């Protein structure tokens, strides 16, 4: 027995620490594991009683690069620090720690608690200078060995990746064929991915593309790889995180990219944590090769998608991007710049449906700049837009019809491919059931159950397909085509249609307008100067009166004039409201008109409407043959009330 082992050491337990780096090593390197368990017998030979020897093997399958996830090592250091351990036995230093910091921390604890360290080479006392020197060199060599092993293992991988030859788990829509990426041969997978990129281009936002798939009940593929078996394609509902990851993946643009994510150790509140980083610039990636394989989108479209994602990102009020088109009534959201300081102006909804554009200067703590009511500016720009955007109606109608037909065909094609897949799986289950021997009833029952499940799934998908066709026709009828041609030729009517949402209008404006600069004008009258920069590079300058807050909420004079005109024709309040809504007019608070709202405006403006019976207007004769007025004639012609009409003479 070594002279370094004293009675006080034998009085305390001996801990045998066992570790293998991976579960594969535990399974395949059994001799090494047996040698580590044999250290129990070594402890007995050195003088420890069998009841005093404890094995710590919780870290089998854990790397020694860090102590963060090694519960066994953490328990060992805790016991040593409390002075409850006489000796720590390990096959070699690398089993205890591959990190110099973890190893030297354990040495310090062993020195303070007078704990011995025993390995296959001998017994070491951390308080002895020579022993500590040897242990320190062993720990350094173990750390260096880990570094050299990483270089040997990863060096070949990096070299192969830089040549674009490293095979890895490809993203959904691709497969490796003889070391090269090609499109997934599954047509439904390809169509779904192409449709997603197309919808993002049209919708302008991730949520819009996801809503399109949800609205049409379309599923999206997901590739699941299995070790030693072919990858499996599963179909799920598309969600936002999945959509964002696809848009950010350069592989879909034909680029071979490897090493876009990295993990590094950082200090967080005094503790060491692993931080996951996603590198944005291709120059930071380990491997990047353009045009390395077939692409779903071009590289320029990929960069445009990234720019749009950054533009749509919401990070609070400090964002200088446009943001995704939303449903608010301020149509120039994300397009307006302040003409005084150059900062972006944001819509502020202090009053429902009555927004204003406010300069973002106050966000930076520099005081308020200015703000203005949005309604008149929006109306002025829309008026200019509809007047300028007047292409040949026939060409526009045909283009719109072709685009609507194409989108309907894309949805219908997705459903047909899904039905084709489900029918194939049902027929395959039937063939498997028919191929089994009748005597093998155990297998036959399982195959019959699987066949019934596939038939139920087929019936469910067919039912969903019929529901989708009834809710939103996937094929255009002749009547639908005529409506589309008529609407395409009436842009003002299409713009003011109830089915055209504010998000749709904002997307149209963003296609044609790059920026709008608003500047206040106070002399000779309060006004707002509007400078429109079109996407073509042309510039249009306009000016519109800048009302006060109370003036902005008044009923427009055009609406009052229309109500007066229709009232003289003896329209009822409900008929007036219907006509005003048909023309796309709004109240002072941007509300649609109802019969009660029209009645309130008439009362405030002193306008009287004709009396109705059975839904039809009844007009009383204003004058008879002798030129005399009736009471209703006086009320209708002079706009007086009934008491005033009865106090005067009825003669003309």
First to last CA, the chain: 139
Nearest-angstrom CA–CA distance, 553 and 354: 8
Please name the residue that has the structure tokens 């200078």: 129
Q: Is the peptide bond before 524 cis (omega within 30 degrees of 0)?
A: yes
Measured CA to CA, the distance from residue 531 to residue 339 in angstroms comes to 9
Is 360 known to be catalytic?
no
Distance of CA 28 to the CA centre of its chain: 44
- What is the DSSP pairing of strand 116-118 with strand 371-373? unpaired
In the numeric block, the tokens 């109370």 are attached to 550
- Do 188 and 421 contact (CB within 8 A), yes or no? yes
Cβ atoms 614, 621 nearer than 8 A: no
Nearest Cα residue to 576 out of 591, 566, 589: 566
Contact 238, 220 (CB under 8 A): yes
**Cα 250 to Cα 122, 193, 300, 545, distances in angstroms:** 55, 14, 11, 49
**Would you state the structure tokens that stand for residue 362, as one six-digit string?**
């106050």
- Indicate if the alpha-carbon torsion angle 563, 569, 573, 578 is positive or negative: negative
Asked if 519 and 532 count as a contact pair (C-beta separation under 8 A), the reply is: no
Query: Residue 611 belongs to what H/E stretch?
Result: strand 611-613
Q: Pick the catalytic residue from 21, 90, 371, 587.
A: 21
Nearest to 596 by CA among 582, 611, 577: 577
Q: CA-to-CA distance for 437 and 451, rounded, in angstroms?
A: 16
Tokens linked to 326: 């939303």
Token pair for residue 286? 């380990």
Q: Which residues of 99-126 are buried (b: 16+ CB within 10 A; e: fewer)?
A: beebbbebbebbeebbbbbbbeeebbbb
Q: Is the dihedral of CA 59, 61, 67, 70 positive or negative?
A: negative
Residue 16: C-alpha distances to residues 8, 19, 22, 40, 43 (Å): 18, 10, 19, 7, 8
As a dihedral over the C-alpha atoms of residue 366, residue 368, residue 372, residue 378, rounded to 10 degrees, the angle is: 30
**Which residues are part of the catalytic machinery?**
21
């Amino acid at each position: 027995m070594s002279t370094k082992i004293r009675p006080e050491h034998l009085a305390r337990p001996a801990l045998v620490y066992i570790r293998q780096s991976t579960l594969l090593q535990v399974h395949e390197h059994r001799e090494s594991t047996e040698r580590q368990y044999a250290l129990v017998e070594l402890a007995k030979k050195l003088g420890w009683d069998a009841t005093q020897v404890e094995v710590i093997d919780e870290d089998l399958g854990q790397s020694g690069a860090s102590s963060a996830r090694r519960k066994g090592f953490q328990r060992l250091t805790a016991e040593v620090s409390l002075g409850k351990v006489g000796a720590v036995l390990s096959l070699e230093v690398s089993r205890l720690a591959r990190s110099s910091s973890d190893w030297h921390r354990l040495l310090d604890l062993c020195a303070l608690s007078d704990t011995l360290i025993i390995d296959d080479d001998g017994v070491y006392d951390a308080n002895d200078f020579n022993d500590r020197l040897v242990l320190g060199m062993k720990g350094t060599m173990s750390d260096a060995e880990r570094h050299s092993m990483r270089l040997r293992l990863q060096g070949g991988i990096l070299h192969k990746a830089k040549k674009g030859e490293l095979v890895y788990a490809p993203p959904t829509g691709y497969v490796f064929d003889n070391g090269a990426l090609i499109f997934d041969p599954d047509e439904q997978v390809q169509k779904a991915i192409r449709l997603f990129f197309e919808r993002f281009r049209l919708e302008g936002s991730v949520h819009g593309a996801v809503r399109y798939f949800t609205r049409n009940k379309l599923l999206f593929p997901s590739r699941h790889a299995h070790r030693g078996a072919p990858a499996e394609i599963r179909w799920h509902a598309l969600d936002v995180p999945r959509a964002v990851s696809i848009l950010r993946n350069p592989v879909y643009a034909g680029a071979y990219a490897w090493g876009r994510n990295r993990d590094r150790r950082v200090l967080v509140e005094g503790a060491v944590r692993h931080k996951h980083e996603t590198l944005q610039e291709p120059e930071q990636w380990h491997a990047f090769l353009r045009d390395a394989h077939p692409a779903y989108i071009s590289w320029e479209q990929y960069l445009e998608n990234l720019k749009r994602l950054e533009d749509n990102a919401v990070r609070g009020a400090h964002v200088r991007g446009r943001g995704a088109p939303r449903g608010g009534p301020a149509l120039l959201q994300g397009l307006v710049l302040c003409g005084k300081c150059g900062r972006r102006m944001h819509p502020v909804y202090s009053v429902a449906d009555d927004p204003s554009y406010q300069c973002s200067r106050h966000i930076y703590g520099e005081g308020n700049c200015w703000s203005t009511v949005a309604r008149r500016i929006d109306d002025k720009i829309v008026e200019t837009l509809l007047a300028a955007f007047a292409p040949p109606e026939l060409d526009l109608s045909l283009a719109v019809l072709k685009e609507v037909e194409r989108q309907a065909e894309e949805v219908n094609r997705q459903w047909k491919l899904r039905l084709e897949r489900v029918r194939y799986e049902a027929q395959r289950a039937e063939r498997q059931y028919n191929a089994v021997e009748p005597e093998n009833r155990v297998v036959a029952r399982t195959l019959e159950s699987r066949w019934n499940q596939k038939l139920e799934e087929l019936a469910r998908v067919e039912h969903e397909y019929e529901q989708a066709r009834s809710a939103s026709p996937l094929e255009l009828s002749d009547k639908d085509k005529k409506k589309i041609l008529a609407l395409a030729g009436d842009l003002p009517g299409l713009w003011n249609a109830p089915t055209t949402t504010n998000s749709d209008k904002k997307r149209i404006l963003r296609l044609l307008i790059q920026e709008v600069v608003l500047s206040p004008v106070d002399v000779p009258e309060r006004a707002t100067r509007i400078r429109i920069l079109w996407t073509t590079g042309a510039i249009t300058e306009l000016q519109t009166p800048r009302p006060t807050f109370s003036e902005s909420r008044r009923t427009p004079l055009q609406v009052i004039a229309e109500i007066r005109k229709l009232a003289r024709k003896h329209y009822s309040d409900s008929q007036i409201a219907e006509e005003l809504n048909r023309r796309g007019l709004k109240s002072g608070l941007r509300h649609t008109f109802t019969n009660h709202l029209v009645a309130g405006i008439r009362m405030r403006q002193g306008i009287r409407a004709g009396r109705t019976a059975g839904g039809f207007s009844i007009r009383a004769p204003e004058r008879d043959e002798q030129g005399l007025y009736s009471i209703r004639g006086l009320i209708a012609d002079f706009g007086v009330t009934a008491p005033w009409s009865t106090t005067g003479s009825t003669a003309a």
